[in-house]
Amino acid sequence: MVKIRAFPGLRPRPELAEMIASPPYDVLSSEEARRLAAANDKSFLHVNKPEIDLAATIDPYSTTVYEKGRDNLRRFIDEQWLVQDVTPSIYLYRLTWRGHQQTGFFCLSSVDDYDAGRIKKHELTRAKKEKDRSDLIDTMNAQVGPVFLLYKANERLNTLLKGHSTHPAPVDFTTTDGVQHELWVIDAEADITAIEQGFAELPATYVADGHHRSASASNVCRARRAANPSYTGEEPFNYFLSVIFPDDQLQILPYNRVIRDLNGLEPEEFLARVRTAFTLETFPGEVIVEQPHTFAMYLGGVWYRLLPLPDSWDAQDVLENLDVNILVSNLLEPVLGIGDPRTDPRIDFVGGIRGNQELEQLVDTGKFAVAFALYPTSVELLIGVADAGEIMPPKSTWFEPKLRSGMVCHLL
């Protein structure tokens, strides 16, 4: 049984939504965010990446940064750029990009569900990043970035999605990256009850993107419960901001890898080592990773197609069958000496939205020695890993389009 709740969202006045809504905090560096928001005092980046309004030398994890975020949020409210709805509501959020469309329920999810494993995760979190978001939420007394969840599509919830999004959206704008964002408000009590009951029939939802945000919400809830022993379980801190999409509407792009050096090997020696675990051939034309268990490798100005040798992984094992793990166990670890991809400074990750040209540039400029393009992890594999209680390697999935921050906030 999954528990969701309506809430009185804090959100932009419709005519300001396009100016306020910003990319999520974790897809931009501080410098990129500083440039993007420089000419826009209403950009939500001033709230969810508040270091951009302080000296470039400041520690982004300092108390001063979180206090600046709190002050900026208060300013947005005082200026009435953000206004809180009077009535608890569930919102529908639709993103349309390059012919792909996905619509989800913008609501509150239960921390108890997360702690009990009814909100299933597939990635580990890093303590420093968890603490960062926990401190930001606690200092702001607000959740300002939604967790991206998914559910196994079913007719009842999909009918509710369609039924409430047939009329023009009160909020409708297209960002410079070509993504159309639409937001509807559902505030009738009977409609909210129907949606809550629809989710109550589900055994679980799944974290698609936002593992640190959901873990941080749990941390803040735990601390506030400890400070308020008479809590009822219905206080705002018992829930976290989420958008929940049906799995059959989601789109995952590849999450590619670049490595800084060849682990002391000369290129020909490296290629010989690769051939012990893969068949290797140059691409005859356009570089396309066309199916699972196929890899593209860029080295010395040449693209190679890599196919792992039969029986070099266990296809019946949900984790070993992941392309990211096949690459790690057959090449990155034994040949390039990459131990833990979560912590090894010699590896970096490039979202598939940037294309193969980005991989070529990173290698051609000498910043990296070799690049690997992967086939996207499927939603079915993600669900399978989460259902098995297993953990994917870091940076296994890149969901696109990205949710905008600032569309709806949750005050604690």
pLDDT in tens, 242-261: 999 999 999 999 999 999 99
**What average pLDDT does range 129-155 have in this prediction?**
95
Token pair of 3 as six digits: 């528990």
Residue 303 DSSP one-character state: E
Question: What is the distance between the alpha carbons of residues 65 and 54, in angstroms, rounded to a whole number?
Answer: 8
In the predicted structure, residue 126 carries a pLDDT above the cut 90: no
Question: What is the distance between the alpha carbons of residues 354 and 388, in angstroms, rounded to a whole number?
Answer: 31
**Domain segments of the chain: what residues?**
4-252+400-411, 255-375
Q: How many CB atoms lie within 10 A of CB 264?
A: 9
Considering the chain, what is the average pLDDT of its residues?
95
Token pair of 133 as six digits: 């978001």
Question: What is the distance between the alpha carbons of residues 288 and 171, in angstroms, rounded to a whole number?
Answer: 37
Q: What pLDDT is recorded for position 341? A: 83
- Of 150, 189, 184, 192, nearest to 166 (Cα)? 184
> Residue 113 in contact with residue 239, Cβ under 8 Å?
no
Q: What pLDDT is recorded for position 315? A: 82
The top-level CATH class assigned to 255-375 is: alpha beta
This prediction's pTM: 0.91
Q: What pLDDT is recorded for position 189? A: 97
In the predicted structure, residue 268 carries a pLDDT above the cut 90: yes
- Return phi, psi of residue 146, to 5°: -75, 150
pLDDT in tens, 211-230: 999 999 999 999 999 999 99
In the predicted structure, residue 340 carries a pLDDT above the cut 90: no
Q: What pLDDT is recorded for position 170? A: 96
Q: What pLDDT is recorded for position 284? A: 82
Q: How many CB atoms lie within 10 A of CB 256?
A: 26
> 3-class SS at 218?
helix
Question: What is the distance between the alpha carbons of residues 155 and 158, in angstroms, rounded to a whole number?
Answer: 5
In the predicted structure, residue 96 carries a pLDDT above the cut 90: yes
In the predicted structure, residue 271 carries a pLDDT above the cut 90: yes
